[in-house]
Amino acid sequence: IAALDISERKKEEFAGMKPTGKLIPMTFEISEKEQLDELLTVVRFKKSLK
């Protein structure tokens, strides 16, 4: 996640989240197009891991 082209704020939020079981939650509040682009960047990354 740290290497992705997303905002530093979102990276810091993710780093500070506590795991839920084996998963670390990452939430997005979409109100601007740039935020949607960040979400799609993370989704593409997650899909590439499979």
The pLDDT tens digits for 11-31 are 999 999 999 999 999 999 999
3-state secondary structure (DSSP) of residue 23? strand
What's the pLDDT band for 38 if we cut at 50, 70, 90?
Answer: very high
Name the maximum alpha-carbon separation found in the chain. Answer: 32
First-to-final CA distance of the chain? 15
Q: How many CB atoms lie within 10 A of CB 11?
A: 15
Q: Which two tokens stand for residue 41?
A: 């960047």
Instruction: Estimate the share of the chain in helix, then strand, then coil, as percent rounded to the nearest 5.
Output: 50, 5, 45
Greater pLDDT, 50 or 18: 18
Q: Is the pLDDT of residue 50 over 90?
A: no
Average pLDDT over residues 5-15: 93
Reported pTM = 0.78
